Structure 1
């Protein structure tokens, strides 16, 4: 007998410490595990325009360091390059970095777990220099 389609939603609050990648795999997995959904689709959505989401390697921290440095080189924090400068020299570059990555991920759910690869983790990518409280909305649909 087929299980009925169900869905659940919650919001995670994540405190960042300034620019960088914050792994959020564990709190997402913990919440997902409590939903009783074996097969489905998980949407992870960042409610901000100066932070984003990425799935990236979670084994070697050098990968995160290299990504952070790459984005700093790719999108300069030079106020002479932008019209939007009222919120500080890091704000417009943060918006551009967010646009180059994504604010939403879709992750298959298989056997009640995210179908991530062996070395994959879910990260909130903080693009601003100072710490921020960020919100990530989780929505799962499945059976």
Structure 2
């Protein structure tokens, strides 16, 4: 069985946002066994699995990424869309645009402390579209 749907994540400010519940609320009933593949259709944000308990981790992740790839660096050539745009594209490449999560007994088989993050790298990224592909039996 294969099923594919488009999900929408509400607009968020820059940062690392736990979106597990928002994604689950838009999914159909999951198969007993399978895989969920999530693909975000944007080049200035990403998807990641990380700590779902302590919100300080999300703050620290933003600090780390902002130090690795600062906004408005004078060597950037692509500057037409503002000082946060080129840095957002680079951060998106580092994080990635997709996740694959196992489905076991009709539920996402995440680790105890794992959650799905929207990594928003623009100051105002807007609504984000995610393609969810469900494979299973």
- With the length of structure 2 as denominator, give the TM-score of the two structures: 0.94
The aligned counterpart of 2:19 is 24
The aligned counterpart of 1:71 is 65
Q: Count how many residue pairs are aligned between Structure 1 and Structure 2.
A: 137
The aligned counterpart of 1:7 is 2
CA RMSD of aligned residues (A): 1.3
Unaligned runs of 5+ in 2: none
Higher helix residue share: 1
Cα deviation for residue 28 of structure 1 reads 2.6
* The 10-residue stretch of structure 1 (77-86 or 23-32) with the greater mean CA deviation from structure 2: 23-32
Q: Secondary structure, in 3 states, of the residue corresponding to 1:99? A: helix
Q: Give the whole-Å Cα distance in 2 for the aligned partners of 1:116 and 1:81.
A: 40
Q: Secondary structure, in 3 states, of the residue corresponding to 1:59? A: coil
Higher strand residue share: 2
Q: Give the whole-Å Cα distance in 1 for the aligned partners of 2:30 and 2:69.
A: 42
The aligned counterpart of 1:105 is 99
Q: Secondary structure, in 3 states, of the residue corresponding to 2:62? A: helix
User: Higher Cα Rg: structure 1 or 2?
Assistant: 1
Q: Give the whole-Å Cα distance in 2 for the aligned partners of 1:48 and 1:101.
A: 12
Does 2:122 match 1:122? no
Q: Secondary structure, in 3 states, of the residue corresponding to 2:74? A: helix
Q: Flag as ranges the 4+ runs of structure 1 deviating above 3 A.
A: none
Cα deviation for residue 36 of structure 1 reads 4.4
